[in-house]
Amino acid sequence: MIGIRLLPVALAASVCLVQVMPARAAEPFAGQTVYFSSSTDPGGGFDLYVRLMARHIGVHFAGKPTIVAQNRPGGGGLVLANYLYNVAPKDGTQVGMIPAYVLLEERFKNPQAKFDPDKFIWVGNMNREVDHCSVWHTSGIARPEDFFDREVILGASGVSGGSYMMPILMNEELGTKFRPLLGYESNAKRTLSMQQGEIMGQCGTYLSSIKASAMQDVNAGNLRIIWQMGLEKHPDFPNVPLAIEYAKTAEARQMLEMFFASATMGRAFAIPPGVPDERVTALRAAFDATIADPAFQAEAEKAKIEVRPATAKDMEPALQKLLGAPPAVVDKAAAILQAARNRGEKQEQELKAKSAEH
């Protein structure tokens, strides 16, 4: 009798197992915490995008995991890239927004880049960025051709920043006459210095930043956007030419495409190699659903955070431009940038010495 009474219970349990197991397989993150990391300190552009995603993506996972936004700054993104590749668990619970230009550090044989950039798995890109060069209206610069005819003094942040490196790269490959000066860490500081006549403009800043904070000056004619630095034009600036149109050789074009592709990869999330396929699929599905979520879109619009997304598949052409340049082009770019860094570090030392005097 005991066996007869237990049989229905055993059958019920087996039925429950049959019903529950597929649900668990479809909810790989159930009961877990998923960390979304920024490569910058709190308050920076990457941090703002990461936290916006973290506030909305949780409801789009079937398993409703806990979502935590965090910061892993350092090395211009190298700290986060190295962590994801070498330390983070291979289960999709660590997702990082890596600046795409950091991937080139391995190509440039930087010993601090301890990863294979080809092996990162990409979840999606929140915004396809476009860099630009802009000048203040009192600079006397009105068109791209002026960049080649006279020295253009630009404000730049640090020796590894795009606002310093990109003008030097364009000098070498296009023949422009940019002179980037260090010590101008933010867009706000550069704008104020333009107004005061200390510098003439800036290069290597995302147009999304201009849209968020400086369109009043653009519309008034005070800030002139001279050209765009990207693989394609930003849709809001269709009449501003692309810098790459001024490349006269295949090598120059390939080198600029390599760097401009990093902007196209702008706000992309990566996970380590080795994450199981079902978790990659779940992460990508949650990302895509969040991008389409009206609540997410409403917050982004209110905060003036530009969202021009790309799926993981849509990112592939930019990745190819970024990581697929011929070795000779990569080696020349590495030499140009190393020489630029050496000069920039000397300039930084002079700035520190001058600051100490005062």
- 54-104 per-position pLDDT tens digit: 999 999 998 899 999 999 998 889 999 999 999 999 999 999 999 998 999
Q: How far is 184 from 127, CA to CA, in rounded Å?
A: 25
Q: Specify whether domain 131-262+328-357 bears CATH 3.40.50.2300.
A: no
Per cent of the chain over pLDDT 90 is: 74
Predicted pLDDT at 5: 36
The domain spans of the chain are 33-128+265-321, 131-262+328-357
DSSP strand E in the chain: where? 33-38, 66-71, 94-97, 121-125, 131-136, 152-155, 178-181, 201-206, 223-229, 268-271, 310-311
Specify the pLDDT at position 43. 85
pLDDT tens per residue, range 282-335: 999 999 999 999 999 999 999 999 999 999 999 999 999 999 999 999 999 999
Q: Is 277 left (phi over 0), alpha (psi -120 to 50) or beta?
A: alpha
Structure tokens at 72: 């892993």
- Smallest Cα–Cα separation from 319: which of 252, 251, 270? 270
CA–CA separation, 86 and 137 (whole Å): 48
Condensed to tens digits (0 to 9), the pLDDT of residues 189-206 reads 899 999 999 999 999 889
CATH class of the domain comprising 33-128+265-321 = alpha beta
pLDDT for 44 beyond 60: yes
pLDDT band at 16, cuts 50/70/90? Answer: very low
Q: CB–CB of 250/243 below 8 Å?
A: no
- For residues 32 and 45, what is the distance between their CA atoms, to the nearest angstrom? 27
* Residue in 207, 90, 168 with CA at minimum distance from that of residue 333: 168
Q: What pLDDT does 92 receive? A: 97
Confidence band for 6, pLDDT divided at 50, 70 and 90: very low
